[in-house]
Amino acid sequence: MIFSESLKKNQDFQRVYRAADSRANRYLVLYRLENGLSKNRIGISVSKKVGNSVVRHHMCRLIRESYRLNEKSLKPGYDLVVVVRPLAKGRSYREIESALLHLMKLQNLVQELSSENKDEKNLNRND
């Protein structure tokens, strides 16, 4: 991730949970809190209710990849926590990516891309 770091400490997650604005859909919950930095920090939480460690890690990888491919279109300066809901288990990459983008649009995290960036994004997707 070029423009982002990971949230790793429990205290960071707790701060976001307490003070953040949240939105949810069938598969994910997204918490957003301004961090005052020039980059985003993202944390992913997958409970044991979702599945065993293999399933949980797979979900984490799907979300991280969805975020990585779309991070150029996001506004910087936020701490984000993505919580995976049990219904997300067994969903395809496209469904998870769509759910994540839906929540990011609801949270006003998506900025308009110039036509050059749109072309570059489409080329990266086709590789």
pLDDT tens profile 75-96: 999 999 999 999 999 999 999 9
pLDDT in tens, the chain (127 residues): 667 788 899 999 999 999 888 999 999 999 999 988 889 999 999 999 999 999 999 999 999 999 999 989 999 999 999 999 999 999 999 999 999 999 999 999 988 765 555 555 566 655 5
CA neighbor of 100 nearest in space, from 118, 86, 84, 112: 84
What is the model's pLDDT at position 15? Answer: 93
State the Cα–Cα distance between residues 68 and 99, nearest whole angstrom.
15
**Phi, psi (deg, nearest 5) at residue 9:** -85, 140
Single-letter residue type at 92: S
- Token readout for 7 is 């949230």
Spatial contact of 107 and 21, defined as CB atoms under 8 Å apart: yes
